[in-house]
Amino acid sequence: MSTAKTPVAILLSGRGSNATALITAAQDPDFPARICLVLSNNLDAPGLDMARAAGLPTLAIDHRSFGKDRAAHERAIHAALEDSGAQAVCLAGYMRLLTPYLTTAWAGRMLNIHPSLLPSFPGLHTHERALAAGVRLHGCTVHLVTEGMDEGPILGQAAVPVLPGDTPDLLAARVLQQEHGLYPLALRHFLTQNPATAPNGAALVVA
Ligand code: GRF
């Protein structure tokens, strides 16, 4: 039996491997989301090509054409999200800092995936920083987006071991593999709020 599907939009800036994981998951009739729009601030994002090839509606709203007017760019994004009918938004490698305008408009309905076990290593270069800090476990987090960067309530996490000889690239690849499993799990749980689908534990991989 198929589930009623919630329209969900994806925002991305680059390669879109997490978007691919969400799109693939949403192709399952029993997954509680359908992807109603894939939107990018970057006209050349490979993730947009991937979404087009998957037959999904796509849109690019280039931030550069708005100059320094971040608010105007976000108003255009918000309008496009509303037009798409999205009831929730997944940031998937969206590389723009959001202003309170967008975070308020989508409060409680916008998810992000971050490549660290938050609250450790918010921001950029997480894998380099994890190696420099000597942590033995690293991973990824899906969280709700709030005004503070990478600070919102945690919806799910997946951990990977840091192995001898790891480089940032090796560690990033190990984390990314977990991201692709975690994001669909976390979105499913967020949309259904079903304790049986809670990602914590299910996606946890501990050395
Ligand atoms: C991922 O590592 C994600 O955690 C971070 O940006 C990267 C995006 O990669 N927010 P992709 O575009 O999903 O492949």
- Split the chain (207 residues) into runs of 10 and give each run's mean pLDDT: 85 98 98 98 98 98 96 97 98 96 97 98 98 97 96 95 97 97 95 72 42
**Which residues' Cβ are closer than 6 Å to ligand 1?**
12, 14-18, 47, 92-93, 113-115, 140, 176, 179
Q: Looking at residue 31, what is its pLDDT?
A: 97
Q: Is 114 a catalytic residue?
A: yes
Largest CA distance in the chain: 49
Are residues 58 and 113 in contact, defined by beta-carbon separation less than 8 angstroms?
A: no
Ligand 1 centroid from CA 181, angstroms = 13
Gap between the Cα atoms of 21 and 25, Å rounded: 6
CA of 93 to the centre of ligand 1 (A): 4
The first and second tokens of residue 167, run together, are 């480089």
Q: Which residue has the CA at smallest separation from atom 2 of ligand 1? A: 115
Which atom of ligand 1 has the smallest separation from the CA of 12? Answer: 12
Provide the angle, in degrees to the nearest 10, between the axes of the packed helices 46-53 and 17-26: 20
In the 8-state DSSP scheme, what is residue 194?
Answer: -
The whole model's pTM is what? 0.94
Classify residue 39 as left (phi > 0), alpha (psi -120 to 50) or beta: beta
